[in-house]
Amino acid sequence: MSRDINRILIGTLSLVLAGVWGLPFLYSVWTAFHPERYAANFQWNAPITFDNFFEAWNSAPFALYFMNTFILITIVLIANFILCTLVAYAFVRYRFRWAGILFALVMVQLLISPEILIVENYLTLSQIGLTDTIIGIALPYLTSAFGIFLLRQTFMTVPKSLDEAAQIEGAGAWRVLWTVYVPLARPIYLAYGLVMVSFHWNNFLWPLIVTNSPEVRPVTVGLSVFATVESGIEWSLVNAATLMTTAPLIIAFIIFQRQFVANFMRAGIK
Amino acid sequence: MNKRLPIGLGFILLVIPCSLLAAFTHYPAVKALVNSMWNNASSFRPSKFVGFENYEAMLADDRLSQVLLNSTLYAIGTVPLAIGLSIGMALLVNSKLPGTWLMRLSFFMPTMLPLVAVANIWLFFYAPGIGLASQILSSFGLPSINFLGRTDTSLVSMMVVAIWKEAGLFMIFYLAALQGIPANLKDAARLEGAGSVRVFIDVVMPLLRPTTIFVAVNALINAFRLVDHIIVMTRGGPNNSSALLLYYIYEVTFAHRDFAYGATLTVLMVVILGLLAALQFWVLNRKAHYQ
């Protein structure tokens, strides 16, 4: 009997906690779907409207921002898939002098990530004349220690016998990589790709520093400019723009939920 | 035994990708150290070697001591609370209560949003008069508080945002760890008469330790690395009360255009992160000795 009461108590408590936790987001959603004059006074029967979304979409070049983020993510994804694969392959399949030291040096990037080196990276970028370009935003992120680590862990699980069988059939280094190692790591590529997409969709400080013109701004920077300057701080518009810019990520997350969670757990193994 | 790496192949596999990585990780770290010993160039004189002058300026910088105090408070305030909350969330979501999917969604939603979006949502939430925070206060007959505009509340308000954003992600790690705990361990403890609190403290908690170490390290690094919400919500203000170290680096370098001092602060940042990594190493090694 007391167990049941306990269950009900804990159940109620947890629902309250979940409700409170969701409150800031729900309030933002509610405001985005209602006319501006209801932003300050909450009413159950306020009319629902989509106008905020149309108005926000039309008052800043969001389509362009989305396109820029899309290009940025495509560049980073392709570069990471290729470059991290190459490095991981070298570490797993070959022996060479100072391999241990080199690996440790690569792993330094897990701690000292490009986000905290904004000062010098900006100077480098302006020396080579790539500020205010999408490739400039992407440049520090084209290889990542995290990707190399993940792929190395995966490649190490590939049975040596498969590798040798391919060699006996006359496959060279590139064919072995392409026909043995890469196919076996496919789930990792998907999971790592998802993490990269979410990271670069969210990344803000570096693109904010590098970009000046709307033509190259990714959505996060575009959103912050819109929220502070262009909207005239009209809350329903700001909230609509906030939702609009995050919706694709939320939808992608719901579709790929399993891989996301699986990858976060895999990251936990290290 | 692996084959020796042929030079030509090694060039393609290692040299090109690794030099790209080094160009934006090791090179800037070393260059920050070098630049921290030079002053800024201006239009009528080139930059010249000044030795430790920038470091002396750093030691005398009152704003920096405020910023470092803020960063420390921020780390101490967010990391343990986010960990505690995420363990609680994982236990709730892992329980057999009705409505766990709703909890999972509610707890995890903030993690999916970009920090800039989270900042906008909370900016609205805190907005004096209009925001939900004010409305809740006024429904209890309390005066509204300008959370972001007061020196005594701005940093705490930022901590709340960070915890809200991160706890859901940590919950996922704990959920994985909880589901990996064999049921027979808990059953054995129960057979010996342990209540659910005892089972949690004596059986579950020790098994969650590796996860806690991993989460704590990540949370700590994030506490230093993420300042998007500061930029959007307070710009370090009012009166530096919510400025964190990386935000200060950003402001010094890109608002005041003081690149030499920015480099000096970057060195400080790298040293702090290095010390935290060493601490992590030490904690992990100590743990290994106990086993």
Rounded distance between C-alpha atoms, residue A126 and residue A129, angstroms: 5
Rounded distance between C-alpha atoms, residue B84 and residue B214, angstroms: 14
Q: Report the pLDDT value the prediction gives residue A138, as an integer from 0 to 100.
A: 95
CB neighbour class for A97 (10 Å; exposed up to 12, middle 13-18, buried from 19) = exposed
CB contact under 8 A, B129 and A143: no
pLDDT in tens, chain B (291 residues): 688 888 888 888 889 999 999 999 999 999 999 999 888 887 777 888 888 888 988 899 999 999 999 999 999 999 999 999 999 888 888 887 777 778 888 888 888 888 998 998 898 888 887 788 888 888 887 887 888 888 888 999 999 999 999 998 889 888 888 888 888 888 888 888 888 788 888 888 888 888 888 888 888 888 999 999 999 998 987 888 999 999 999 999 999 998 999 999 999 999 999 998 888 778 777 665 443
Q: Report the pLDDT value the prediction gives residue A270, as an integer from 0 to 100.
A: 39
The answer, for B79 touching chain A at a CB cutoff of 8 Å, is no
C-beta of residue A188 within 8 angstroms of C-beta of residue A267: no
CB contact under 8 A, B232 and A227: yes
Q: Report the pLDDT value the prediction gives residue A41, as an integer from 0 to 100.
A: 67
Q: CB-CB: which of A139, A204, A223 is closest to B24?
A: A139
Angle made by CA atoms A17, A21, A25, in degrees to the nearest 5: 150
DSSP-based helix, strand, coil % in chain B, nearest 5: 75, 0, 25
Q: Nearest-CA residue of chain B relative to A251?
A: B112
DSSP-based helix, strand, coil % in chain A, nearest 5: 80, 0, 20
Q: Report the pLDDT value the prediction gives residue A40, as an integer from 0 to 100.
A: 66
Q: Report the pLDDT value the prediction gives residue A269, as an integer from 0 to 100.
A: 45
**A210: which 2 tokens?**
């590098």
Spell out which residues of chain B touch residue A173, defining contact as CB-CB under 8 Å. 9
Q: Report the pLDDT value the prediction gives residue A229, as an integer from 0 to 100.
A: 65
C-beta of residue A179 within 8 angstroms of C-beta of residue A166: yes
Helix orientation angle between B62-94 and B100-112, rounded to the nearest 10 degrees: 150
Q: ipTM more than 0.95? A: no
Q: Which of A195, A213, A238 is nearest to A27 (CA)?
A: A238
Q: Report the pLDDT value the prediction gives residue B8, as an integer from 0 to 100.
A: 85
Rounded distance between C-alpha atoms, residue A143 and residue B23, angstroms: 11
Helix (H, G, I), strand (E, B) or coil at B95: coil
Average of pLDDT values for A258-269? 58
CB contact under 8 A, A21 and B164: yes
CB contact under 8 A, B124 and A31: yes
**B90: which 2 tokens?**
């994982």
Spell out which residues of chain B touch residue A2, defining contact as CB-CB under 8 Å. none
CB contact under 8 A, A87 and B102: no
Spell out which residues of chain B touch residue A205, defining contact as CB-CB under 8 Å. 227-228, 231, 246, 250
Q: Which of A223, A197, A122, A22 is nearest to B232 (CA)?
A: A223
Average of pLDDT values for A180-200? 87
Q: Please, what sign has the CA dihedral across residues B216, B218, B223, B229?
A: negative
Q: Give pTM, 2 decimals.
A: 0.89
> Distance, in angstroms, between B169 CA and closest chain A CA?
9
- Cα torsion through B149, B155, B156, B161, rounded to 10: 90
* CB within 8 Å of A159: residues ≥ 6 apart: none
CB contact under 8 A, A87 and B231: no
The answer, for B236 touching chain A at a CB cutoff of 8 Å, is no
> Distance, in angstroms, between A24 CA and closest chain B CA?
6
Superfamily of domain covering A54-269:
MetI-like (1.10.3720.10)
**How many residues are given for chain A?**
270
Q: Which residue has the higher pLDDT, A252 or B62?
A: B62
Cα separations in angstroms, B136 against A189, B104, B126, B157: 46, 25, 11, 16
> Distance, in angstroms, between B227 CA and closest chain A CA?
8
How far apart are the two ends of chain A, measured CA to CA in Å? 45
Cα separations in angstroms, B119 against A39, A210, A262, B86, B181: 18, 21, 27, 21, 36
Q: Which residue has the higher pLDDT, A251 or A216?
A: A216
Within chain A, which residue ranges are assigned CATH 1.10.3720.10?
Answer: 54-269
pLDDT in tens, A123-147: 999 999 999 999 999 999 999 999 9
For chain B positions 95-124, those within 8 Å of chain A (CB to CB) are 95, 97-99, 102-103, 105-107, 109-110, 112-117, 120-124
CB neighbour class for B186 (10 Å; exposed up to 12, middle 13-18, buried from 19) = middle
The answer, for B58 touching chain A at a CB cutoff of 8 Å, is no
Q: Report the pLDDT value the prediction gives residue B290, as an integer from 0 to 100.
A: 44
Q: Report the pLDDT value the prediction gives residue A220, as an integer from 0 to 100.
A: 92
CB contact under 8 A, B250 and A28: no
Average of pLDDT values for A207-226? 91
CB contact under 8 A, B24 and A140: yes
CB contact under 8 A, A93 and B3: yes
Cα separations in angstroms, B28 against A122, A206, B36, B49, B104: 10, 14, 12, 18, 41
**DSSP string of A173-209?**
HHHHIIIIIHHHTHHHHHHHHHHHHHHHHH--HHHHH
Rounded distance between C-alpha atoms, residue B28 and residue A122, angstroms: 10
Q: Report the pLDDT value the prediction gives residue A174, as an integer from 0 to 100.
A: 92
Cα separations in angstroms, B188 against A191, B7, B195, B202, B250: 37, 58, 12, 12, 55
Quote the mean pLDDT of chain A.
Answer: 86
> Which domains, from first to last, does chain B contain?
53-290 (1.10.3720.10)
% pLDDT > 90, chain A: 39
Q: Report the pLDDT value the prediction gives residue A268, as an integer from 0 to 100.
A: 46
Best A72, A101, A112, A119 residue to mutate vs chain B (most B CBs within 10 Å): A119
CB contact under 8 A, B16 and A83: yes
Tell me the pLDDT band of A192, cut-offs 50, 70 and 90. confident
pLDDT in tens, A41-89: 667 777 778 888 888 888 889 899 999 999 999 999 999 999 999 999 9
Rounded distance between C-alpha atoms, residue A139 and residue A230, angstroms: 29
Q: CB-CB: which of A204, A235, A264 is closest to B114?
A: A204
Q: Nearest-CA residue of chain A relative to B131?
A: A40
C-beta of residue B262 within 8 angstroms of C-beta of residue B255: no
Q: Report the pLDDT value the prediction gives residue A142, as an integer from 0 to 100.
A: 94
Helix (H) or strand (E) holding B248: helix B245-250
pLDDT in tens, A97-131: 888 999 999 998 988 889 899 999 999 999 999 99
* Contacts across the A-B interface (CB distance below 8 Å): 243
